[in-house]
Structure 1
Amino acid sequence: MFILGESDVRKALDPLQCLKVTKTALISLVDKKGVVPSRLALSYPNNPLETTRVPSSASDTKDTAEDWTLIKPAAYYYSNGDHNADTGTDKNEKNRSSNLPNKVTMGLKVVSIRANNPSHGLPLVPATILLVDAPSGTVNTVLAGTYITAMRTSAGPALAVQAFQPNVQHLVVFGAGAQAECHIQLMELALQRRIPKITIVNRTLERAQQLQQKIFEQRSEDGEGILGTVDTVSLNDKLALADALSSADVVAATTNTITPLWNEDTNMTLKRGCLITGIGSYTPEMQEIPPFVVDRSVVVIDTPEALQVGDLKHLRISSISDTSYPIMLAGHAFQDPKAVLQMQEVAQKDYIVYKAVGTAIQDVLQAEAVVARARELELGQEIDMG
């Protein structure tokens, strides 16, 4: 069995390839190459079969989501001629593919949300990915999935910016954790340029300032200087928040709140054409994007499951085939971004919302690419399980 730890995963994960693999994964959900069975979910510490939710502690307030552990399987069924599929597998295999049986990449991820982890120096979203040798059905790879989760989650919004708001001048990011950092990194990578103005909004201003300083240090190390401004705003500073939102071209929500991050107060409005991305909510109780913003938007979702989370559930759309609201799957949207912009014009909507809950096909294909690169770099170790 091949084992790859978190530090080696960070060395082997190519951010640019992460964008390509994410696009392949999301498109696979519409071209039927990707198969994602229902995930298994266990809440912590409460029994998920109970109908009444009991606060897990005194700190479990209305602004804190319940912790969960999810088991998420997926498989990618390659067609003859596309065995590499931008996942880092043997490029020469493409030339031999007509003589090969169709390849299958198979695996699963175990991922959790633990709100108290950061206070103990642990990741908010710890994850592990297992890859399965499809012909034999044996697990042949185990790799740390926390960094992969952060990067592939951020890759979807980055692709949305590239597709729908490539001229962004001002990015507002809600949150100051790993997701916020990865969002900024991958959005700028997708654009192949620095975003001139970035505003980091967080409940705790100190954490926003820590991320601000980290960005300054990274850019200084890169020899590129600051190249624009990076500001911080407390979520409770309504005037400063309203000012930031009024000039934003892109608003990225990266939190696990169950209360919308802003409301319809005076001056708390976005300019027309703004792209809003949300990745933090994943249950019907969780909500980052205010309903009044969604109502004025064309909606792009990574999977149909996104329709059930708090941000979108008020639309009461049970299926992507429901044509009562302008909505499109990301797989289709990234194949034809102009279709989304045309839909926005026809529906006379002010904004575009990209809402993602994540899909295991992203994790499995990202893991395959990381493992291929790790072997090239001679990282990781083989363990005899016999």
Structure 2
Amino acid sequence: MLILTKNDIEMCYSIEDCISAVQDAFEYFSAGKVDVPLRTQIVKSNGKDSFLCMPAFCEAYNAACVKVLNMFPENINKGRPSINAQVLNIDTQTGEINAILDGNYVTQLRTGAASGVALKYLAKKDCHKGALIGTGGQAATQLEAMLLMCKPALVQVSDLDFTRATRFAQEMQQKFAKYQTKIMAVESANTAIKDADVIISVTPSTTPVYDASYIKAGATICGVGSYQPQMEETPAELVTRADKIYLDSQAAVLAESGDLIIPLNKGLISQAKLTGEIGRVISGELVGRENDQEVIFFETVGIAAQDLMTAKTIYQKAVEQKIGSKQN
């Protein structure tokens, strides 16, 4: 069995590799080729901390895995990761666990890659400004996916803690210098999203984190942080205004994401407002962006198919490059 740490994975695998894997994941999932039960989720009485188990199998991709993941959003205030996870990669021929991967980093990669896939298919060709709201453990890969797919000249970053946002922006400016994008912190989300062509929000907020009136025509917005029914980082006004709404999994989003559950329950939108799953755009069954004026919203709660294809392709690269530690 192979043990793959974050450092091991970084040596052999990139966000670009992951975007390719997650694109496959969405396409296979929407074609009904991935067995992905809705994830088991146990939420503590505080309504924030949760324990999750996410199995997946795809015979056509020759892949199987289980991710065990715990989400504790307040850990960010303690200087600890908000997500703790491991991914068990499984040999589909023998049922043996052939690798254990750092699930925190796999989650960061595949969650960032989900936005990367969405931006690849839904963003305008010319994106000059990006906005990132939230600077927790998922933020760095979200930012890199935006930089890779959209190549904005400027990205403005906001967080409830401006000091944290400033520190994050400075670190990312150095880490992602190769993209030649100016990355800077601003004191409010509304400042960040004003005139932005692409926006990613990745927060556990239960109240909207920006004013939808600042969203300009032609913007593409990725809602990433709302993974429980009471979480609503995206304003309902944006959801009602959007010309098109795409999802990673319609069943999962309607079961888990307050960004859409809340406006649906209030009667502000109906399910007819939902354009469909991004996997069907990838396969050509659904049309994506049709002009530069459409406001397009993508909601992702994360599905095990992403972990499945990501873990499989990481394992393959690690074996090819002889990376990782072997354990009996």
| TM-score (normalised: structure 2) | 0.90
Checking the alignment, whether the CA contact within 8 Å between 1:34 and 1:75 is kept in structure 2 is yes
More off after superposition, 290-299 vs 125-134: 125-134
Q: Secondary structure at the match of 1:178?
A: coil
Distance 2:100 2:87 in 1: 6
Checking the alignment, whether the CA contact within 8 Å between 1:10 and 1:147 is kept in structure 2 is no
Checking the alignment, whether the CA contact within 8 Å between 2:108 and 2:137 is kept in structure 1 is yes
User: Could you tell me which amino acid in structure 1 is paired with residue 226 of structure 2?
Assistant: S
What 5-or-longer segments of structure 2 have no aligned partner?
A: none
- 2:154 is matched with 197
- 1:24 is matched with 24
Distance 1:208 1:287 in 2: 21
| Structure 2 residue 219 is matched with structure 1 residue 261 | no
Distance 2:280 2:167 in 1: 38
Distance 1:30 1:149 in 2: 20
Distance 2:67 2:253 in 1: 19
- 2:259 is matched with 311
Larger radius of gyration: 1
Match of 2:216 among 250, 271, 294: 271
- 1:252 is matched with 200
**How far does the alpha carbon of each residue in 1:143-162 deviate from its partner, in whole angstroms, 9 at most, with x for none?**
11111111110111112222
User: Per the alignment, do residues 359 and 338 of structure 1 end up closer, same or farther by CA in structure 2, a change over 3 Å counting?
Assistant: closer
User: Per the alignment, do residues 218 and 337 of structure 1 end up closer, same or farther by CA in structure 2, a change over 3 Å counting?
Assistant: farther
- 1:143 is matched with 101
| Structure 2 residue 288 is matched with structure 1 residue 330 | no
- 1:370 is matched with 314
What 5-or-longer segments of structure 1 have no aligned partner?
A: 47-54, 56-64, 84-103, 236-240
User: Could you tell me which amino acid in structure 1 is paired with residue 193 of structure 2?
Assistant: L
Distance 1:350 1:373 in 2: 39
User: Could you tell me which amino acid in structure 2 is paired with residue 229 of structure 1?
Assistant: K
Aligned-residue offset at 1:251: 1.2
- 1:111 is matched with 69
- 1:96 is matched with none
**How far does the alpha carbon of each residue in 1:61-100 deviate from its partner, in whole angstroms, 9 at most, with x for none?**
xxxx61101000001121xxxx6xxxxxxxxxxxxxxxxx
- 2:142 is matched with 183
Distance 1:204 1:195 in 2: 24
Q: Give the total of aligned pairs.
A: 320
Q: Secondary structure at the match of 1:234?
A: coil
Aligned-residue offset at 1:337: 9.2
Work out the percentage of aligned pairs sharing the same amino acid: 24
Q: Secondary structure at the match of 2:288?
A: helix
**How far does the alpha carbon of each residue in 1:270-299 deviate from its partner, in whole angstroms, 9 at most, with x for none?**
111111101111111011110010001111
Aligned-residue offset at 1:182: 1.1
Match of 2:110 among 127, 152, 157: 152
User: Per the alignment, do residues 289 and 323 of structure 1 end up closer, same or farther by CA in structure 2, a change over 3 Å counting?
Assistant: closer
Distance 1:274 1:353 in 2: 8
Aligned-residue offset at 1:350: 4.9
Distance 2:79 2:264 in 1: 39
Match of 1:174 among 133, 136, 141: 133
User: Per the alignment, do residues 115 and 244 of structure 1 end up closer, same or farther by CA in structure 2, a change over 3 Å counting?
Assistant: closer
- Residues 329-368 of structure 1 aligned to structure 2 (within 5 Å): 329-336=277-284, 339-342=287-290, 350-368=294-312
User: Could you tell me which amino acid in structure 2 is paired with residue 245 of structure 1?
Assistant: I
Checking the alignment, whether the CA contact within 8 Å between 2:280 and 2:286 is kept in structure 1 is no
Q: Secondary structure at the match of 1:123?
A: coil
User: Per the alignment, do residues 256 and 314 of structure 1 end up closer, same or farther by CA in structure 2, a change over 3 Å counting?
Assistant: closer
User: Could you tell me which amino acid in structure 1 is paired with residue 67 of structure 2?
Assistant: K
Distance 2:48 2:271 in 1: 33
Distance 2:49 2:95 in 1: 31
| Structure 2 residue 172 is matched with structure 1 residue 215 | yes
**How far does the alpha carbon of each residue in 1:140-191 deviate from its partner, in whole angstroms, 9 at most, with x for none?**
3211111111111011111222222231111111011232221121222234
- 2:185 is matched with 232
Distance 2:194 2:310 in 1: 36
User: Per the alignment, do residues 299 and 219 of structure 1 end up closer, same or farther by CA in structure 2, a change over 3 Å counting?
Assistant: closer
Checking the alignment, whether the CA contact within 8 Å between 2:229 and 2:262 is kept in structure 1 is no
More off after superposition, 368-377 vs 135-144: 135-144
User: Could you tell me which amino acid in structure 2 is paired with residue 285 of structure 1?
Assistant: Q
Distance 2:140 2:26 in 1: 22
Q: Secondary structure at the match of 1:271?
A: coil
User: Could you tell me which amino acid in structure 1 is paired with residue 275 of structure 2?
Assistant: I
Aligned-residue offset at 1:250: 1.1
Checking the alignment, whether the CA contact within 8 Å between 1:164 and 1:337 is kept in structure 2 is no
- 1:95 is matched with none
User: Could you tell me which amino acid in structure 1 is paired with residue 172 of structure 2?
Assistant: I
Distance 2:22 2:224 in 1: 14
